[in-house]
Amino acid sequence: MRLLAFILGILVTFASFGTDCADSVNVYFRVGYRHFEPSLGDNRREMDRFINQVREAAAKGDIEQIVVRAYASPDGSSKANEILASRRCDAIADYIVANTGISTDLIRKIPEGISWDSLKRMVEESADIPSRRAVLDILNNTPVWVFDTNGKIISGRKSRLMMLDRGIPYRWMEKHLFPKLRNAVAVTMQIKNKGISEVAPSEPLLPDLPETVEPSDQSESQPIENLGEETLADATPVSTPDIPGRQRFALKTNLLYDAILMPNIEFEWLINKKWSVSLEGDVAWWKFSFERIYRLAVISPEVRYHIRPKSDWRGMYVGLFAGGGLYQLENGGPGYRGEGGMAGVSFGYMWPIGKYLSLDAEIGAGYMGTRYKVYENRDSHKLYMRTKTLNYFGPLKLKLSIAWRFDFMKKN
């Protein structure tokens, strides 16, 4: 590594003798416009000064190249900003060629995209920005794009700025700082070697490199404990061959939830004829488009008392359930992202439809509390708006499940 750094240092040192920054100018465009207007602000005076310098250098044959860089603000889609920046570079290059007569081969056009360094300097120089320290922390430490292990974008600098402090800092910068970024073009003339210049570029020549986010550790699955064996008081040493042994467990899936694209599974253990416990998990994790998201994950334990059961897994029951989960819901309008918990009572009926299969119908009601964030889609990003809470009393469960009954425990 030290040898590589030494070689790079030599190359950079020799490169500095090749060109020298002779003059530069910043000009501005109207927001969203691609055409250069000399009458806008100080454009004419600044550009005339620069054009005269270019003519003098061209007459001496000293021009190495002229670099035109166009910048954009964080607002607006990335694709639109790239197109606009490229067209502004073309407009400035055409203007310089038309007024100096130099070859287009001497002009290098670089659509830079979002001017993050300029935004950072503006934030450092302004004490009025809400949550200024947090904004600077994001600008300094968050990469432009954050990828998962599969190379998919999961977050980024702009997204985190939008979600910071209910979106207040982003909207403040959108009003006061972004107009200075979205319409600026920097032009620099480099001349052939006349000595070493100490002029520093206004923007870094290397773009920000994306970083990856390491996946979080996944919890290991826990083995099912040996729950022991229940002794039947009315057991007899003789049984009918086509009747299965006692089925203490059931795996279920709610057909109603499956129909609304929410896969689910429930595991129930029949402790004895009158009591059972269950654990249910529901997950819907769909993203149909950027503005259509249906994500829901819920886990819910329940204890049930079977009322005068006619046999195992047959008859009425009442239950007490609790649960919690998280969600993100969006369908073209405002989006909602949050988490919540619930508790309530249930009533159901279960009946067999085969040797190993049963149907289970259940309804439940109770209390649910949730706290969620409201956001809007802005420029292909989620802009945080506010946080709300909701306390709800009413129906919480509706199930029509098919159950597979089985027993994996050793019999005496």
Dump the DSSP string for 88-122.
Answer: HHHHHHHHHHHHH---GGGEEEEEEEE-HHHHHHH
Residue 141 lies in a domain: no
Residue 86 lies in a domain: yes
CA distance 162 to 141: 16
Q: Domain of 268: which CATH number?
A: 2.40.160
Residue 105 lies in a domain: yes
Residue 231 lies in a domain: no
Structural domains counted in the chain: 2
Q: Is residue 270 located within the same domain as residue 347?
A: yes
**If you average pLDDT over each of 19-23, 200-204, 235-239, 394-398, which comes out highest?**
394-398
Q: In the chain, what is the greatest distance between 2 CA atoms, to the nearest angstrom?
A: 113
Given a cut of 60, whether residue 39 has pLDDT beyond it is yes
Of 65-69, 70-74, 311-315, 401-405, the one with minimum mean pLDDT is 70-74
Residue 312 lies in a domain: yes
Q: Identify the H or E element spanning 205.
A: none
Q: Domain of 25: which CATH number?
A: 3.30.1330.60
CB burial string 30-44: b at 16+ within 10 A, e below: eeeebebeeeeeebe
Q: Is residue 74 located within the same domain as residue 194?
A: yes
CA distance 187 to 70: 9
Contact 172, 129 (CB under 8 A): yes
Residue 229 lies in a domain: no
| Cβ neighbours, 10 Å, residue 94 | 13
Q: Is residue 171 located within the same domain as residue 72?
A: yes
pLDDT tens digits along 96-155: 999 988 888 889 988 877 778 888 888 998 888 899 999 999 999 988 888 888 778 888
Range of the domain at 68: 15-115+167-212
User: What pLDDT was estimated at residue 63?
Assistant: 87
User: What pLDDT was estimated at residue 33?
Assistant: 80
Q: What are phi and psi for residue 61, nearest 5 degrees? A: 70, 30
- The residue among 295 and 155 whose pLDDT is bigger is 295
Q: What is this structure's pTM?
A: 0.49
Q: Is residue 258 located within the same domain as residue 372?
A: yes
Q: How far is CA 208 from CA 128, 159, 220, 274, in A?
A: 27, 16, 37, 64
Residue 201 lies in a domain: yes
DSSP state of 272: S
User: What pLDDT was estimated at residue 127?
Assistant: 85
Residue 311, Cβ density class (10 Å: 0-12 exposed, 13-18 middle, ≥19 buried): exposed
pLDDT tens digits along 356-385: 999 999 999 999 999 999 999 887 788 889
